[in-house]
Amino acid sequence: MPFDGNTVKTKSLGGSESAAYYLARELAYRGHRVSCWTSTDKDVVVDGVTYCSVGPHTQATPLGERFDHYASHTPIDVLIMQRQPHAFHKRWNAKVCIWQLHDLALYRSAAHMLNGMWQVDAVTTVSQWHAAQVQKVWNLPPEIIRVVPNGVDPALYESTPAKPCITFRGDETQVLNDPRDGSVMQVLLPATPFKLLYQSRPERGLEHLVRPGGIMDRVRDLPVHLVVCGYDNTMPAVADLYQRLMAQAAELPNVSIIGALNKAQLAELQNKCDLLIYPTEFDEVSCITAMEAMHAGLPMLTSEVAALPETCKESGTLLVPLPMGVTRADEDAFVAKLEWLFKDKAEYPRELKVLKNRQFKAAESRTWSHATDVLEGVIAECFARRVQQPGAILRSAIERSDIAFAKWYLENAEGDPSLSPIYPGDSVA
């Protein structure tokens, strides 16, 4: 998704893009000089981070002409490449190279990935479950795989918005637009006692909620209303599915679709809902959605699959196992949980109060500041590993034609075994 440092303030943003934005901002805040290369239209500096356009993609420069020229010719201390299987298809002018993964490892991309592993110092995943999956599929050496978790910006949940955009009143869903730019100014939602929220990509589980005979169809008698939002990044392959799911949702009296929200609007909606519901069989490698719910004190009901148990450990999340031998979310179990929580309830259920407190507690360790601490630790480890390699410093200086430093190192370095004199009988290769 095209983005820069201003995008998060005005538009919806995906998980990987959010990670890039928040990690870059946090690193800059700590004094690092950070440039973030994306498919943005123009270069801009925001919060100390220089956002640069990668430029046109060509056969010779698949990652963008401008980025290719910069990364090939400009000395870089740390180069973090995100997701792209062709990320290290050529030699970059960087001391440390880190490949940051946010997706499942696929057998079909193994050949592309392995081509560049010779210059990768660390591969980071977003959970232990993800690390094990990557190691198994691509057979990477476990000593270079490190977990750098996702996080959330606590500031989004620490204050009341000056201009609220989510209001629960009336009998119908209404979206009132700003006549100047068409952005959502206010959403009026039915004043049903309890609000459920679905905010993940539609293909990851919305069908279980809105299909005929699905979860929301079966809980029409409960005092609950489902609010569906997401982010604006519909790929052609799923466009027909999205259209079908939106049409099915529109047929249900207890479902409202309000579309894409920016981070602040989403945080406001989360704060005003009662339960985040996510019936899924998708292999989540982490789940920023779950972490956001923790910061909002929003209890969560989701499937016990992939990295979700790890992400939601010791939080206010109810996990529903997939039935034995079945690879689909258990709709019957989700209906039963909703009936247990909300049937014949007029006041906020005591069970949700307990889960809410657990969410707030779990949020303390799910921040981008914590994630950056871990990332800086990985970077320090990579540099230490290089220094420990005999002759690494001298070899790096010679490769970069830094002859003055190479001479100084030869005269002053102590403890580097590669500089020890060679005596008769020593084996030299």
CATH architecture entry for 157-365: 3-Layer(aba) Sandwich (3.40)
Asked if 289 contacts 303 with a C-beta cutoff of 8 angstroms, the reply is no
Q: How far apart, in Å, are the Cα atoms of 64 and each of 20, 51, 55?
A: 18, 14, 5
Supply the pTM of this predicted model: 0.84
Asked if 286 contacts 311 with a C-beta cutoff of 8 angstroms, the reply is yes
- In this prediction, residue 416 carries a pLDDT of 57
Asked if 275 contacts 298 with a C-beta cutoff of 8 angstroms, the reply is yes
Residue with tokens 């999340």: 317
- 206-263, pLDDT tens digit by residue? 999 999 999 999 999 999 999 999 776 667 888 899 999 999 999 999 999 988 888 8
- 369-417, pLDDT tens digit by residue? 999 999 999 999 998 887 666 566 677 777 767 788 778 877 776 655 5
- 200-216, pLDDT tens digit by residue? 999 999 999 999 999 99
Asked if 187 contacts 167 with a C-beta cutoff of 8 angstroms, the reply is yes
Phi/psi at 174 (5° precision): -130, 135
Domain ranges of the chain: 157-365
CA distance 187 to 199: 16
- 52-111, pLDDT tens digit by residue? 999 999 999 999 999 999 999 999 999 999 988 788 888 999 999 999 999 999 998 888
User: For 321-332, b where at least 16 C-beta lie within 10 A, e where not — what string?
Assistant: ebeeeeeebbbe
- In this prediction, residue 422 carries a pLDDT of 45
Asked if 195 contacts 189 with a C-beta cutoff of 8 angstroms, the reply is yes
Own/partner contacts of 109-117, CB < 8 Å, gap of 24 or more, are 109/85, 110/137, 110/138, 112/85, 112/86, 113/85, 113/138, 114/138, 115/88, 115/89, 116/86, 116/87, 116/88, 116/89, 116/90, 117/88
CA distance 95 to 92: 9
